Amino acid sequence: LSPKEVDSCMSYIRWLILIPLHATFAFTVPDVRRVGMGGYCYAAFVISICWIGVCSYFMVGWATTIGETLGIPVYIMGLTFLAAGTSVPDLLSSVIVATRGFGDMAVSSSIGSNIFDILVGLPVPWLAFTIYPNGEDFVYIAADGVWLQIIILLVMLVLIIVSIHLQGWKLTKTLGYFMFFFYFLFLAQALLCEYIFDFC
């Protein structure tokens, strides 16, 4: 728990802010890097997943509260802050493998993560909700503008594939700029649909 690299005042302040989290994880998650602790790897994995669930629960609640306080719709909060927060692990893993020369692994990891989110991350809570004896056997989904969002998603997918093809199927700086442009374009249309147009 002691600070490893405190070379500035900001580093020390950051360590003080994060010490409750570091202490909680250190005392609840087995450190399998230590000699003789390798057999606890599965327990560490399960406990880590549980902590991710707990942190995600509070993150969603805090994001909703902040959005309501600032007058930001829940849809926009989910599209921006929550999406960015939940994608940070994907970002870090993609950066690590890309810097090691495994660009195909970086791209496939991002694609696989999104497929996992849609086909596993969404159905599991729905299934748990319907199995729980609460008198309801379905989950209502607000479908306003869902077809438009699906079309926009497909258009974005086509644009990304075309951009990668134009770059010779290589991860370049130009391709990175394209990706940022497409993301801000997507955010712009989402904001227009939320605040100006009523058919979205």
Q: How would you write the pLDDT of the chain (200 residues) with one tens digit per residue? A: 666 666 677 777 888 888 888 899 989 999 898 888 888 999 999 999 899 889 888 888 888 899 889 888 887 888 888 888 778 777 888 888 878 888 778 778 878 887 888 888 888 888 888 888 777 777 777 656 677 778 888 898 899 889 988 988 887 889 889 999 998 998 888 888 777 776 55
| Residue 44 pLDDT | 93
Q: What pTM value is reported for the model?
A: 0.67
| Residue 107 pLDDT | 77
| Residue 125 pLDDT | 83
Report the first-to-last Cα separation within the chain, whole angstroms.
Answer: 49
Tokens of 12: 């020390």
Distance from C-alpha of 35 to C-alpha of 62, rounded to nearest angstrom = 39
Would you call 32 helix, strand, or coil by DSSP? coil
Distance from C-alpha of 199 to C-alpha of 151, rounded to nearest angstrom = 14
187 neighbors 76 (Cβ within 8 angstroms): no
| Residue 69 pLDDT | 92
Tokens of 139: 């989950």
Nearest to 157 by CA among 115, 122, 197: 115
Q: Where are the beta strands (DSSP E) in the chain?
A: none
Distance from C-alpha of 56 to C-alpha of 117, rounded to nearest angstrom = 14
Distance from C-alpha of 157 to C-alpha of 176, rounded to nearest angstrom = 15
Task: Using the structure block, give the residue that is written with the tokens 């959005």.
Answer: 67
